[in-house]
Amino acid sequence: MRIHLKTLGCRLNEAELETWSRDFQAQGHQLTSELGDADLVVLNTCAVTAEAVRKSRKFMHKAHHKNPRAKLVVSGCYASLDPRETAQSLGVDLVVNNHEKDRLVEIASRELNLLAMPELATLPGENSLLSQGRQRAFIKVQDGCRYQCSFCIVTVARGEERSRPIAEIVKQINALHDQGLHEVVLTGVHIGGYGSDCDSDLFQLIDAVLHQTDIPRLRLGAVEPWDLPEHFWSLFANPRFMPHLHLPLQSGADSVLKRMARRVKTEQFSQLVEQARAQVPDINITTDLIVGFPGETDGEWCETLAYVEQIGFGHLHIFAYSPRPGTRAASLPDPVHRDVIRERSQQLHALGEQCKKATLENYIGREFPVLIESRVENSDYPWTGYTPNFLRVELKGAQSPSLENSIQQVKLEAIAEKGESLIARFL
């Protein structure tokens, strides 16, 4: 069968989709990037914001309109919150709850009687990510979260924390490396809580990957700032552990953080960033911020702007607050007007651009190894990739196919015109 896979939302959803891709191909099915050509469409939904829900529903309608003959399977947070409503009102053939999504291919094959040609199965050593132009793999290490931030519906949708065994994760990474991948990202709903259910922790996991695999580049997905394990910074002594941390802050005002039920204050966050920058050379700290949380006053907003400028984040992921039914924040008083949220978002985007530019300027004239990830046709800078500390680079140079998926030493020379990346040349 021809199968079209689509994911919305977080890196964990991407990791799950990559696993489904491998499993479907192992059963002899073929992947297609064209929705209209598919016999089966699989959507990994998101519910983190109202916009994510809208996009999930929109894609389901699009799938029915563009390819009504295809069967539709959905999973993910939106589908799991109300599976009966999803199936009945949106014409879905099969809903696979988050708790069973690791078995999605098995369940879909059984429930929908999917027929495959075994001789079409992915050949040993063939990597579907590389064939799709992807040089970085996301590895799901755990699911679920024990905490209950007042704005978050994911805790409800994903359930209790469940960690994958270290040996299983190591085996998967070694297999991907054998197939040609040079970089993996450990991801999950609450990766700082890794091992809470199996007498382990995040330090042991990272240490095992560094010692039991030869993958050239290991990255960490978003980790809560209160969850870094003891001796964490020592892991960066291994140059294969990339110096980039995404630490979700959500607000720069302690009063807002309290209403969010976040387990960190700005002073603690500042100390953490100071410690990171003192112990890990060139580390890039990025973050998430929510604009317009209920009750956010002008004074609290000014605190956030001042704090973001003080820290000097390398990049901001900015989310406009939207109430999610089933969360405590949805019932909080004093909602912020949409026009105010829009204005504050514009202010924060502008500040984020300033912070990113300042970060990029610090590295002009420096040399770094870059994983060449993609090629842009008919461009003065045909190659793109990322430095170890996750700065995007556009590269001058010949369009030799052998450069793709290789690690090359480059010199950073200038900030690109749009201010989102650095211009570099091969050495």
* Nearest of 52, 22, 34 to residue 175 by alpha carbon: 22
Q: Which two tokens stand for residue 61?
A: 């309608």
CATH 3.40.50.12160 fits 2-120, yes or no: yes
Instruction: Please tell me the distance from the alpha carbon of residue 281 to that of residue 307, in angstroms, as a whole number.
Output: 22
Domain with CATH 3.30.750.210 in the chain: 135-242
231 Rama sector, left if φ>0, alpha if ψ -120 to 50, beta otherwise: left
Q: Where in the chain is the domain with CATH 3.40.50.12160?
A: 2-120
* pLDDT for the residue numbered 23: 87
Evaluate whether 8 touches 41 at the Cβ level (below 8 Å).
no
What is the pTM assigned to this prediction?
Answer: 0.83
pLDDT of residue 399: 62
Closest CA to 320 of 305, 341, 303: 341
* Mean pLDDT, residues 82-99 taken together: 80
Q: What is the pLDDT of residue 86?
A: 67
The amino acid sitting at 281 is P
Residue 278 near residue 237 (C-beta atoms within 8 A):
no
- pLDDT tops 50 at residue 106: yes
CA dist., res. 216 & res. 389, Å (int)? 14
Q: What is the pLDDT of residue 120?
A: 37
Q: Which two tokens stand for residue 137?
A: 């793999």
Q: State residue 50's pLDDT score.
A: 83
- Buried b vs exposed e over 342-362: b needs ≥16 C-beta within 10 Å? eebbeebeebbeebbeebbee
What is the pLDDT at residue 249?
A: 97
Q: Which candidate, 411, 427, 422, places its Cα nearest to that of 381?
A: 422
Q: What percent of the chain has pLDDT over 90?
A: 71
> Which residues have a Cβ under 8 Å from the Cβ of 274 and sit 6 or more positions away?
none
Q: What is the pairing mode between strands 136-140 and 183-187?
A: parallel
* 273 has pLDDT over 70: yes
Per-residue pLDDT at 88 exceeds 80: no
How are beta strands 407-415 and 367-375 bridged, if at all? antiparallel
Instruction: Choose the weakest-confidence range: 167-171, 238-242, 382-386.
Output: 382-386
Instruction: Give the whole-angstrom CA distance, residue 185 versus residue 173.
Output: 10
What is the pLDDT, as a whole number, of residue 196? Answer: 93
What's the rounded mean pLDDT across residues 178-205?
A: 95
Please give the CATH number for the structural domain made up of 367-426. Answer: 2.40.50
Task: State residue 83's pLDDT score.
Answer: 77
As a whole-number percent, the residues of the chain with pLDDT over 70 amount to: 94
Q: How far apart are CA 376 and CA 381, in angstroms?
A: 7
Which residues, including other chains, have CB under 8 Å from residue 365's CB and lie 6 or more apart?
411, 412, 413
The Cα–Cα gap between 45 and 267 comes to 36
Q: Mean pLDDT over all residues of the chain?
A: 90
Asked if residues 236 and 247 have their Cβ atoms less than 8 Å apart, the reply is: no
The answer to which of 162-176, 337-351, 369-383 has the lowest mean pLDDT is 369-383
DSSP string across 16-47: HHHHHHHHHHHTT-EE-S-GGG-SEEEEEE--
Q: What is the CATH number of domain 135-242?
A: 3.30.750.210
Distance separating alpha carbons of residues 158 and 143, to the nearest angstrom: 7
Cα 31 → chain centroid? 22
Please give the pLDDT value at position 281: 97
Question: Among candidates 149, 5, 178, 164, which has minimal Cα distance to 75?
Answer: 5
Question: Quick one: average pLDDT of 249-273?
Answer: 97
Q: What is the pLDDT of residues 110-125, one digit of tens each?
A: 899 886 544 333 333 4
pLDDT tens digits for range 286-335:
999 999 999 999 999 999 999 999 999 999 999 999 888 889 999 999 99
Q: Provide the pLDDT for residue 197.
A: 93
- Phi and psi, residue 11, nearest 5°: -65, -30
Across 83-97, 139-153, 243-257, 378-392, least confident range = 83-97
Mean pLDDT of the 234-262 span: 97
82 neighbors 90 (Cβ within 8 angstroms)? no
Crossing angle of helices 50-66 and 83-90, in 10° steps, is: 40
**pLDDT tens-place string over residues 194-231:** 999 999 999 999 999 999 999 999 999 999 999 999 89
* pLDDT tens digits along 15-34: 999 889 988 988 888 999 99
**For position 87, what pLDDT does the model report?**
67
Residue with tokens 């026009």: 339
- CATH 2.40.50 in the chain: give the residue spans: 367-426
pLDDT at 398 over 90: no
Average pLDDT over residues 88-106: 87
pLDDT band at 49 (very low <50, low <70, confident <90, very high): confident
Angle (CA) 106-111-114 rounded to 5° is 70
